[in-house]
């Protein structure tokens, strides 16, 4: 197994682990870009799918809904790492198929 795979696993374990300001289930939902209540859903979905469109207003709305700065930060990191993980896993699967095709 490559070092990058081990590092990826360690990163995912760290962002989803027990220690954190945001509840573990909420961090997992952000990581998975699962359905969340508004306004958190809008922020997390933007981070995962269109990060360049996140605005100060998106963050302010989540803060006004009762989440702390630390919780928001953790959830944004979880959303970004979750999206990066999905892209990484898709790339590794495509590489495996391409490598398998070459070996035939």
Q: What is the DSSP string of 3-68?
A: HHHHHHHHHHHHHHSS-SSS-HHHHHHHHHT----TTHHHHHHHHHH-GGG--HHHHHHHHHTT--
Whole-angstrom Cα distance, residue 104 to residue 84?
Answer: 31
pLDDT of res. 104:
64
The model's pTM is: 0.89
More confident site: 94 or 100 = 94
* Contact assessment for residue 76 and residue 47, using Cβ atoms and an 8 Å cutoff: yes
Whole-angstrom Cα distance, residue 41 to residue 43?
Answer: 6
Cis peptide leading into residue 39 (ω within 30°): yes
pLDDT (average), residues 68-91: 96
Contacts of residue 11, Cβ cutoff 8 Å, sequence gap at least 6: 81
Tell me the pLDDT tens digit for each residue of 23-77.
999 999 999 999 999 999 999 999 999 999 999 999 999 999 999 999 999 999 9
């Amino acid at each position: 197994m490559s070092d990058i795979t081990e590092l990826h696993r360690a990163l995912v374990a760290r962002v989803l682990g027990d220690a954190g300001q945001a509840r573990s289930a909420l961090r997992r939902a952000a990581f998975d870009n699962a359905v969340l209540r508004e306004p958190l859903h809008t922020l997390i979905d933007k981070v995962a799918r269109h990060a360049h469109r996140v605005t100060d207003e998106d963050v302010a709305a989540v803060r006004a809904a009762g989440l702390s700065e630390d919780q928001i930060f953790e959830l944004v990191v979880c959303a970004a790492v979750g999206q990066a993980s999905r892209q990484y896993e898709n790339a590794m699967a495509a590489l495996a198929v391409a490598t398998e095709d070459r070996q035939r």
